[in-house]
Amino acid sequence: DPKQVTHEVEEGLYDAILAKYEEEWKKA
């Protein structure tokens, strides 16, 4: 299902963005 693949990709991007922000918060 293409929509399922897109959803999984979006979740991966969301996780990556959250991880990046967590790194910034730890530095602050």
For a pLDDT cut of 90, what percent of the chain falls above it?
71
> Which pTM was predicted?
0.55
Question: What is the model's pLDDT at position 16?
Answer: 96
Task: Look at residues 23, 21, 1 and name the one whose alpha carbon lies nearest to residue 9.
Answer: 1
- CA dist 11 and 13 (Å) reads 5
| Residue pointed to by tokens 């399922």 | 4
Note the residue count of the chain: 28
Using DSSP's 3-state secondary structure scheme, residue 11 falls into: helix
Q: What is the pLDDT of residues 1-13, one digit of tens each?
A: 888 889 999 999 9
